Chains A and B, each alone.
Chain A
Amino acid sequence: MDRNQVLQKVREFTLNELLKNPNYDLKDDEPLFSSGLIDSFAMAQVGVFIETEFNLYIPDPELTVENMDTINQITDKILAELAAQQ
């Protein structure tokens, strides 16, 4: 899976499940949590999304706003974990 495919999946999930607004003009570098766009509650949803969609488990200490604030960051985290698995 290349980076763009992963990014598209993360984007779709963020727009549909977290923002509940498929038409929102979300930038790849736009802060999600630190900006208050999404509450920190939704971090658990990001975790479960990564578990079910990519079969990866991100432990709680790594599932933080610092690591996962933009769809770029989330994508890179997924790619890093996928690479580590191989």
Chain B
Amino acid sequence: MEYPFLNPVESLQRYAQESPDRLSHMLLGASEQENQSLTYRQLDAEVRKIAAHLQSVAEPGERALLVYPTSLEFVIAMYACLYAGIIPIPTNPPGLNRSAQRLEAIARDAQASIVLTTPEYHQAFLLQAEQFPEFAARKWITRDSVQAGGDHALLPPNITPDTIAFIQYTSGSTNIPKGVVISYRNLSYNAHAIRQTRRHELSDDSVILTWTPLFHDMGLLTAVFQTVIDRTPSLMMSPIMFMQNPLNWLRKIQKHRVTASGGPNFAYELCVRKIPLEKCEDLDLSSWKLAYNSAEPIRAETQQAFAEKFAPFGFRPKAFAPCYGLAEATLEVSSYTNQPKTIILRVKRSDFEEGKITPAGPNDEKNTVELVSSGAPLIDIRVAIVNPQTRKRCAPNEVGEIWLAGGNVAEGYWNRPEDTEHTFRAHLADTGEGPFLRTGDLGFMYDGHLYITGRLKDLLIVRGRNYYPQDIEVTVEKTHPALRPGGGAAFSITKDGVEHLVVVHETQRSQMEGVDWDEVIKQIRANIARDHGIRASAVILIRRATVAKTSSGKIMRSEMKRRFLEDELEIVAEWRAPIL
């Protein structure tokens, strides 16, 4: 099927003409007086200033690092690059007292000649100029330097579906960061995919609120691009405001009659756990029509608890939209919404551990795993479930690696032909069908819906049985309230040729008074054995906020394993089997 080409640059320029005074973006402050906003006309004018300056110092196709907190300046800088034909690279801004090492690595990998940032960051990086001379020598541009730069005429960029729109550096992994190249075609297909998810919500009265980081695909594609393409006012607040108090999120939804907002599963979990009901008295969430849940495994119990807690305040369970996506596919791959309840599939645990999907019968009560649907693939995305070893399609009831094809699949990794070939150009071994994107995620299709069961490289295989680390991590965190939700890492280590399960979990300070940690560890060991039929060979409880996560909040299990092996964990209490 053909989809019309949606180009955010064209959208912004058109709305600046057609609806110049309509709200484009608003940065929400702690109080309403601190809000800052831009209409389409204002945004377009600000963008043109920087874009003209960029064209005067760089050639089209050059890369620019963008180093900003959540701000209107970031949005202006993104569009300024697109207007000027410069390729923007949003980055996770380090604290002002932190090393520029990661930014320097990205700038080097992308051969970025320009750094766009705030005067404050520029000052902070100047202090590190001796340490990173190459990075400091790039063309640094801030709002101050542009005002000093004078007037240049802006030449319209030549944008086709093949033009590179931006490069998204994937967060976190211990390897060197890889830049996913997103074309305007990818942006356009992704915009159609999101529209499909938004179909119950999208109207002239829509308002989107984003608090997830803008350098990450979910925040970037939603707050910067989709809102402009769909002419939806884009409200933004900093992730810190959410983390300080999740009620801030819900209050802003109420205040601004927000219709679409979301986050990873942990955000809903935090709302359930951290918001006291007595603070909710006049809360009104009735405007909220689309509550997307993506970027980490979706838990049915979280959604249910959230719905139960906030339904009295006007939250509609039908608003939930579980999604699956990844930066290598721009953002969104599958979703569903407008369902009264989370769609769950109950399968036999014994078969599941062997990679087989068998719906559980009424007598399988103890032998059951619940899996949450990630919805149906959107627009024209094709999904193949593939055995990662043989590279042949799995049988319909088998778990395999999720391979994808479609217009939202990115062009590849910047300047990495081998990685691109391996990840983006996979073909089935028997039929030669392809190319497919290898997602590295495991899952299966059932009844037209995609179910994600884990990460290929994180899968624990102990004595021939498959265990999903996230399942074990949930068991651990449920053992005691002093264990931080989402703060665990389960992985396996090899000792004398045998695989052993190790679990590491964060404690939380607020709950630590008078806790008998040895007793908690005993309980953890018993619960893992009961729920998973495996013994942990080590249980390590670590200090709060010391579990390694990517900037998007995914647990870095391989990094935690490295710290375990190299004795770098900050241990509160531990137990190890004598064989370790």
Contact = CB atoms under 8 A, between A and B. Distances in A.
A68 to B, nearest CB: 13
B529 A48 contact: yes
Nearest to A56: B578
Interface string A23-46: 000000000000000011111110
Contacts of A41: 533
Contacts of A51: 525, 535, 577
A57 B579 contact: yes
B273 interface: no
Contacts of B366: 39
Interface string B510-535: 00000000000010011011101111
B526 A52 contact: yes
Contacts of B367: 39
Contact of A42 (B498, B522, B533): B533
Contact of B535 (A17, A39, A40, A47): A47
B533 A40 contact: yes
A52 B577 CA distance: 11
A51 B579 CA distance: 13
Nearest to A59: B579
A2 interface: no
A60 interface: yes
A57 B525 CA distance: 13
A44 B533 contact: yes
Contacts of B463: 60
Nearest to B367: A39
Interface residues of B, number: 17
Contacts of A40: 533
A57 B529 contact: no
A43 B498 contact: no
Given A40-B533, A42-B533, A44-B535, A57 B578 contact: yes
Given A45-B526, A52-B526, A57 B577 contact: yes
Contact of A44 (B522, B534, B578, B579): B534
A52 B518 CA distance: 10
Contact of B525 (A17, A39, A43, A48): A48
Nearest to A43: B533
Contacts of A52: 522, 525-526
A48 B498 contact: no
Contact of A47 (B522, B529, B532, B578): B529
A52 B534 CA distance: 15
A65 B271 CA distance: 46
Interface in B45-80: none
Contacts of B534: 44
Interface in B560-580: 577-579
Interface residues of A, number: 16
A40 B522 CA distance: 21
A49 to B, nearest CB: 8
A10 B448 CA distance: 48
A40 B463 CA distance: 13
Contacts of B526: 45, 48-49, 52
B513 to A, nearest CB: 24
Interface string B529-555: 110111100000000000000000000
A45 B532 CA distance: 10
A4 B530 CA distance: 26
Contacts of A42: 533
> Which residue of A39, A43, A51 has the most chain B CB atoms within 10 A of its CB atom?
A51
Contacts of B498: 60
Interface string B277-290: 00000000000000
Contacts of B578: 57
Interface string A54-78: 0001011000000000000000000
| Residue among A44, A47, A59 with most chain B CB within 10 A | A44
Contacts of A60: 463, 498, 535
A60 B498 CA distance: 10
Contacts of A43: 533
Contacts of B522: 52
B364 to A, nearest CB: 11
Nearest to B522: A52
A13 B463 CA distance: 26
A41 to B, nearest CB: 4
A17 B463 CA distance: 24
A47 B526 CA distance: 9
Contacts of B529: 44-45, 47-48
Interface in B67-110: none
B520 to A, nearest CB: 12
A65 B367 CA distance: 19
A60 B463 CA distance: 10
Contacts of B535: 44, 47-48, 51, 60
Kindly name the residue among B522, B526, B528 whose own CB sees the greatest number of chain A CB atoms within 10 A: B526
Given A52-B525, A57-B579, 10 more contacts: A17-B530, A41-B533, A42-B533, A44-B528, A44-B529, A44-B535, A47-B529, A47-B535, A48-B529, A59-B579
12 contacts: A17-B530, A39-B367, A44-B533, A45-B530, A47-B529, A48-B526, A51-B525, A51-B535, A51-B577, A52-B522, A52-B525, A52-B526
Q: 8 smallest A-B Cβ distances: which pairs?
A: A41-B533, A44-B529, A48-B529, A45-B529, A52-B522, A48-B525, A44-B535, A57-B578
